[in-house]
Amino acid sequence: MKTPLLATVLSFMICSFSFAQGSCSKFYPLEEGSSFEYTNYNKKGKVEGTVNYTVSEVRQEGSASVATFAMKYKDKKGEDVFETDYSFSCENGIVTIDYESLFPSQMMQQYTEMGLEMDISGTDIQLPNDLSVGQQLPDANVVVSMSMGGINMTTSVDQTNRKVEKKEKVTTPAGTFECYLLTEDQLTKTMGANIETKSQLWLAEGIGMVKQESYKKNGTLISRMELTQYSK
């Protein structure tokens, strides 16, 4: 099983949750054709890859708004690594995500052909309309359980101590934005290992995620992802 790819997908899943929650319009413009490019950098500031999100469809199903996103990930050489479509629905400020759709169809097909069974579950991140400095936000988690030939493996990511730290302006190659800074602790459990990290996320109204930084427990920078271009 390609666990490095699985870890990559999970990391983007967390990012996706971070900008797609709460109101269906306040922190992210649900307009068909809107596109966002994020560049991922390692701790030395070197490009590791890019991820592109495009809003491919927005529709109403009763009182719920349902959006479909096309996601493409390229490595540092600009070569395609994977692409997938995923969706979420929003009703009365509550978001439901199709967890399984976040995994690339090619990877899911490969795993199925290998006889692997996969179950994905979790607790959606909640991001209220009205953020305020000092506000505590609910915990969240995602769990991926896989089984093949009597071998079981579970990978989980718990997001705790989520808090709105402050408001500040952030500049990226895409521009300068007035953002809320959200911080949280993350605990990843996989293959008997517990990995504790901390995350800082900058959100701008009408844009969504502008920048994200991940740190080791001791404060050492692991990686940075930031908005490099967008259109809506």
- Per-residue pLDDT tens for 179-223? 999 999 999 888 888 989 999 999 998 888 899 999 999 999 999
CA-CA distance, 207 to 29, in Å (whole number)?
Answer: 7
- In this prediction, residue 50 has a pLDDT band, given cuts at 50, 70 and 90, of very high
Structural domains in the chain, sorted by start: 3-231 (2.40.360.20)
Distance CA 111, CA 109 (A): 5
This prediction's pTM: 0.80
Most confident option among 18-27, 29-38, 124-133, 207-216? 207-216
22-26, 92-96, 125-129, 165-169: which has the highest mean pLDDT? 165-169
Mean pLDDT lowest for which of 9-18, 30-39, 135-144, 152-161?
Answer: 9-18
CB atoms within 10 A of CB 28: 27
